[in-house]
Amino acid sequence: MNPIKIVIAGPRGKMGREAVKLVEVTNHFQLVAVIDKINDGLKLSSIEGFQQKDVPIYKDPEKCFQLETPDVLIDLTTPDVGKKHTKLALQYGVRPVVGTTGFTEDELKAVQTLSEQKGLGAVIAPNFAIGAILMMKFSQMAAKYLTDVEIIEMHHDQKLDAPSGTGLKTAEMISVNRPEKRQGHPDEKETLDGARGAVYQGIPIHSVRLPGLVGHQQVMFGGDGQALTIRHDSFNRASFMSGVKLSVETVMQDNNFIYGLENIIE
């Protein structure tokens, strides 16, 4: 069987570096090029930390897709760039695996439509950590019985979007099992804007941004005389790579658009 030809966008980033390692140690994966905003035309091996990687760097994703004809794009960049890359990948017949967060509902629908038109698999996963998926699933289960809930998501202070994709996705999943209701007192007033967090279908999501953190979330449920906290911690970016691997394998076999790893893991 031929290896899966992969392009990684954002290889110098914290996630991108882990993804380069993942591809290197996976026998049936082959890195054919990277997309970066600097070092166009150079080899990745000329960049510190990548001495063994003799693949070209492209600034222009279209040129990369045309010349390298990869099977899969792994995008780990920034919200605006990731959205552009995802669309271009599908237009050029490349299956996107996107960890970049910040897609709105309309933008996700547009990716789904394009994936259907092209008959190509695509995965957008706000969180590639298997433990985080379980946290979301357990929270969805708990919301059937404990309908009072708030979410606290905590990330490093270089994160560009808030709330996190995982926080929003958790609220969406909880909403499936919880009738919409505004958490807190009906007459509560914020004396400082934002004190009660961002609200999705009545569920407050509080975003913490601090250096030293990676990706953490706790979902807090309250009931009469009791509380339940479901918490997940990613301590480093390696925690996300088993989900990236699974997603690459999935887009090669499944020609549908999948949003969220929970739709792959049963």
Q: How far is the CB of 110 from ligand NAP (least distance, A)?
A: 18
User: Which residues belong to the annotated binding site for NAD(+)?
Assistant: 10-15, 36, 99-101, 125-128
151 lies in the site for ligand NAP, by CB under 6 A = no
- If the CB atoms of residues 221 and 251 are measured against ligand NAP, the closer one turns out to be 251
Residue 70 within binding range of ligand NAP, rule CB under 6 A = no
Cα angle 239, 172, 123 (rounded to 5 degrees) comes to 50
Residues contributing to the annotated binding site for NADP(+)? 37
List alpha helices for 28-129, DSSP H: 61-68, 79-91, 105-118
If the CB atoms of residues 10 and 56 are measured against ligand NAP, the closer one turns out to be 10
Cβ neighbours of 213 (radius 10 Å): 16
Cβ of residue 192: shortest distance to ligand NAP, in angstroms? 27
Min separation Cβ 227 and ligand NAP, Å: 28
Q: How many CA atoms lie within 13 A of 121 on its CB side?
A: 17
Residue from 15, 55, 72, 173 binding ligand NAP (CB under 6 A): 15
Amino acid in position 2: N
* Contact region with ligand NAP (CB under 6 A), list: 33-41, 175-183, 218-226, 250-258: 33-41
Active site residues: 155, 159
Do 41 and 26 meet the contact criterion of CB atoms below 8 Å apart? Answer: no
Contact pattern for ligand NAP over residues 111 through 140, marking x by CB under 6 A: --------------xxxxx-----------
The answer to the question of residue 9 lying near ligand NAP (CB under 6 A) is: yes
Name the closest residue to ligand NAP (Cβ): 13
Q: CA torsion, points 153, 154, 155, 158, in degrees to nearest 10?
A: 100
- Please tell me what DSSP assigns to residue 2: P
Q: In the window 175-204, what residues touch ligand NAP (CB under 6 A)? A: none
3-state DSSP assignment of residue 154: strand
131/184 with CB nearer ligand NAP: 131
Q: Which residues pair with 161 in a beta bridge?
A: none
Q: How many CB atoms lie within 10 A of CB 127?
A: 28
Report d(CA 139, CA 155) in Å as an integer. 19
How far apart are the C-alpha atoms of 117 and 63, rounded to whole Å? 22
State which of residues 7, 8, 32, 36 lies at the interface with ligand NAP (CB under 6 A).
Answer: 36
Using CB under 6 A, pick the residue from 8, 32, 35, 94 that binds ligand NAP. 35
Is 230 among the residues that bind ligand NAP (CB under 6 A)?
Answer: no
Distance of CA 56 to the CA centre of its chain: 25
Q: Does 264 interact with ligand NAP (rule: CB under 6 A)?
A: no
What are φ and ψ of residue 9, in 5° steps? -100, 130
Residues that bind ligand NAP (CB under 6 A): 9-10, 12-16, 35-37, 76-78, 81, 99-101, 125-129, 158-159, 215, 240
